[in-house]
Structure 1
Amino acid sequence: MAEIRFEDLYKSYGSNHVYTGLNLTINDGECFTLLGPSGCGKSVLLRMIAGFEMPEKGKIFIGDRLVSDGGTGETVQPNLRDLGVVFQDYAVWPHMSVFDNIAYPLKIAKKTTALIKEKVMQIVELVNLTGLEQRMPSQLSGGQQQRVALGRALVANPSLMLLDEPLNNLDANLREEMRFEIKELQKKLKITIFYVTHDQEIALALSDRIAIMDHKGHVMQVGSPADVFENPANDFVFKFLGVSNFLPVEQSGGELMVGGQPFVTNNKPTAHAEKLIAAFRPTDVNISRTGAGLKGKIVRASFLGADMDYLVDVESRIIRTQLNTHNALQENLILKEGDECAVNLNTVTWFDETKLHTEGVS
């Protein structure tokens, strides 16, 4: 069993308080991602799970086993925690072959030669390195080296895998390929994965649940990828989970106004605040050359291949929209700078302007 439980966890570095009373549970067998901006303390939490660092206060359990107690100083050594760790920089041994890199934990554990060969070859096949067992790391691509690191972490059959932004050094295509491979590995092996990243696409693609942290290490929301994306707890979560637009809207006498223009939407706000923020994604924006909607002007038009990307000035506020290039051609919506347009929104998430968490939203 590899449930991870944090009870009233505290950790600081001088005056920088990273965690102040964290309580969180990662369920056995799930892929749980800690998502947040750089410097918020994601890797610190991973290092405490691994036993590389100690909390100042609070307890960490893996299953029913207490592995760190900040109050008493009690700790279980990293090599006795039944876990595998994969780092951002691969950390493969440059002087060892693929086979020897993956075999290293078994050799340290003094397993027999026959067992080592059997286990390593099973893992080589599992991480798609068949035929490369005798190659050196210098002869491998970045993606292949990351597979070696994954194989080495998996070979001892850990109940828990800790992944510290392992895909950051890969190009976009490899990142996409590897995130799906990691998810497939987790399904096949039925192990618990604790994944740390600042990349929301990876988090949404991989996770059973996500915890989203702000810059100060506070957990803003925990939930499934669909839940946190569709029902964000606050504006910080909304902004962190992809490209976002925030449009100030005033509410008076049941009317919604953006600057001097009336704002019509199907999902009206339930809050009674006078000043609101309408939050929406570029794909939630419909534009037309004429007709009803907020009047705007194109200030940037970018051809991105499959999509057209526009920045639109609406009452001195810039919003971003994307539409399929094929559809734009069919509907005569290949626009250029200076063209006027009408803007309508499919879906809006409402926030009270006086309760924002994100600087610069308004």
Structure 2
Amino acid sequence: MAAARALTPPTPRPRLDAVLVVRRAVRNFLAEPACAAHLESGELAVAVSGGADSLALVEAAAYVGERRGLRVCALVVDHRLQEGSADVAEKAAQESLRLGAHAAKVLPVTVSGPGGPEAAARRARYAVLREHAGERTLVLLGHTLDDQAETVLLGLGRGSGPRSLAGMRPLDPPWARPLLGTPRDVTRAACAELGLSPWEDPHNADPRFRRVRVRREVLPLLDDVLAGGVAGALARTARQLREDCEALDAVADDLHRRAREGAALRVDVLAQAPSAVRRRVLRTWLLSGGVPELTDAHLRSVDDLVGRWRGQGGVFLPGGVEATRAHEKLVLNTF
């Protein structure tokens, strides 16, 4: 009688709970009707830094993209602000290929210009991503629920109004943010489940940057005082404000069409609308007229030419532009 052989127990498969959460978020996002028109090219780009959020995102995009017949390209921006940044970028590109991306490109940029290094780096990054993705390809960004909460708090601190408090849009072509409802802890857990060691950007621990202090000091304090859940509550507030802003913008678009007369705006049409709608029309009009860097004070001063008219002079604006009221119309003059 042959001796019975001991059965070797199967090697347990690692749990992929967080990985599945990220994949589901990407799958549901790309299934939205608003995304459909932007996927006709069959291509999808993912901005990858090598951090946990972007690595979890590129894995999920590759997984979902394979099932939807989408070619996924990882775009890695090398800001060249730190020693060894080229090595970090190359590692992120190779990691993206291992995670299933069809292609990966390292994009070196020069960071310069006004607004400090954080703003200058953001401008350079978005410019090169837009250039390499092209007009028909969505670029997935790894912004999470926590990033949205930080954005709302920073906007609140600046007194930037509802448009800023509405936070980042999930879809603002070519930019797409499928993880705005996913906490940062989930992307970190997903990387751990995948056996990845994400890069930790030293700038994310530098207290010179306001966002870092909001992340490390303000949000934890609010969580302690308000018994947790602050990031989720701020993200929900942003979503509600965004929906309100979109409704008001639609009303303002209609008002703008009715008030426009050539390059001018008819005061009698504008005067019928609430100031919140009127200022949206004025913002669109001024931006299209070449006025940069509009502030709330600028908009309210121009709005006074309609809602608080008492024969006052024109309003001088950035860019060498003056808004004046003449013959019951608002007009722009350059000087």
TM-score for the superposition, normalised by structure 1 = 0.29
Give 1 or 2: higher helix fraction: 2
TM-score for the superposition, normalised by structure 2 = 0.31
